[in-house]
Amino acid sequence: MSPRVQKAYRLLLRDLDTCHFPPRSLLPPSRELCGKYDVSRPTLGKAISLLVQEDRLQSRQGAGTIVLPHSRRERAHIVSCMAIMNNALVMHAQHRALELGYVLNIFLHQETEWDPRIERRFLERVREQKSHALLAFCSPLKPANDDMLQAVADSGVRVIHTEHYRIEPPDQEYLMPDYAAAGRLAARYLLESGCTSLRVLGHWTRPSPSSLLTEIGVAQGIAEAGARPAERMLLATAPDYESGLVARRLAALPAQTGLIYPALESGAKAIWLLRSNHKKPDTIKVVALSDTLKGSCPWIDRFQFDTIDMHDRIWNAVNNRDDQPLRELLAPTFLPASVPVPQLDHPDWLSHDCLPEKAERNYVVNTESITPQWR
């Protein structure tokens, strides 16, 4: 189903479900419906054919298209939501579902270890129960469930992706953070601050799409600045900060090194470790990516996504307050450090439960021709 046919199908189905076109009545003329939904006559015809197959409409030669009676239970007032174990996000979804009168069906990836086979079974149930909408946060592991996602959308469920599960944009609707833009802006910011070596620290053993998109953005920022990346090195980081290995590695970094952390907590730890090793603030700079659901560490420069506002917009679209398909990447906002680094001997958040276990990618750059454009 093409995006245009899907749009006409969804809008016409909405009008049928809300009895805008009452049972046993005739649909308005095609010209009127094409103007109402802003689609062509062939596109409208394909949407009507789908609804005829679902026994929602009946075409009678010489009589027009008749709306068939149906049970309201055919389209469940359920919103299915895929998420990770993020209490703030789940509570926000619950609040909006209750506010708008939906039943919330939650699928948590931590319980399934991101297994795409289990995810597929969930998507099959979403299609079978005819949910009103699916807020998709899909597993990045292979095999991807692209075909099942499209089958869910083709069944009339409005699918809106809230997070990347691959590098390419999804085939259905989406409103997701623009990690590539954040990486590009972070690279420009650090280069314009005088850094000559940039390191991106991933936060998964197996890099997530968000980490890879951040890396792509960093490379774009380096290229835009007129800098030239040299050989890329893969450096494993220690799984335990208390071992002191990470602290020693940070202490050994050359002056004018810039660190980009896709995870706010890891960047906050790096800042604290650099301070505890008496590194001067102007020799090593750290910037992190964050969102409004993860709180704030005001002692670190960060590029932050307003995730709460993003999910509010998604729920408003789910509630049919916005008939236009969502296909948008959310831009980050730069928030500079506003307070000194906490003076703690061993802060509670310095635990191995949320460490970067992964990889650094190193870029050595020439900063002679940088033009300030990162803002």
3-state SS assignment for residue 199: strand
pLDDT at 13: 85
Cis preceding-peptide flag for 143 (omega within 30 of 0): yes
pLDDT for 6-47, tens place per residue? 888 888 988 887 778 888 889 999 999 999 999 999 999 999
Which one, of 127, 79, 114, lies nearest residue 316 by Cα?
79
Task: Collect the ranges in the chain with pLDDT lower than 70.
Answer: 70-76, 85-86, 202-206, 227-247, 276-282, 293-296, 321-323, 341-375
pLDDT computed for residue 21 by the predictor: 87
pLDDT value at residue 156: 80
Distance CA 160, CA 162 (A): 6
| H or E element, residue 291 | strand 284-291
Q: How far apart are CA 236 and CA 246, in angstroms?
A: 10
Paired sense of beta strands 158-161 and 197-201, if any: unpaired
**CB 294: neighbour CB atoms within 10 A?**
17
pLDDT confidence of residue 375: 37
Closest CA to 129 of 117, 121, 119, 137: 121
pLDDT at 24: 82
| Amino acid type, 270 | A
Checking DSSP bridges between strand 133-136 and strand 158-161, what pairing results, if any? parallel
Rounded to two decimals, what is the model's pTM?
A: 0.75
| pLDDT attached to residue 73 | 42
CA 154 to chain centre: 22
- 3-state secondary structure at position 290: strand
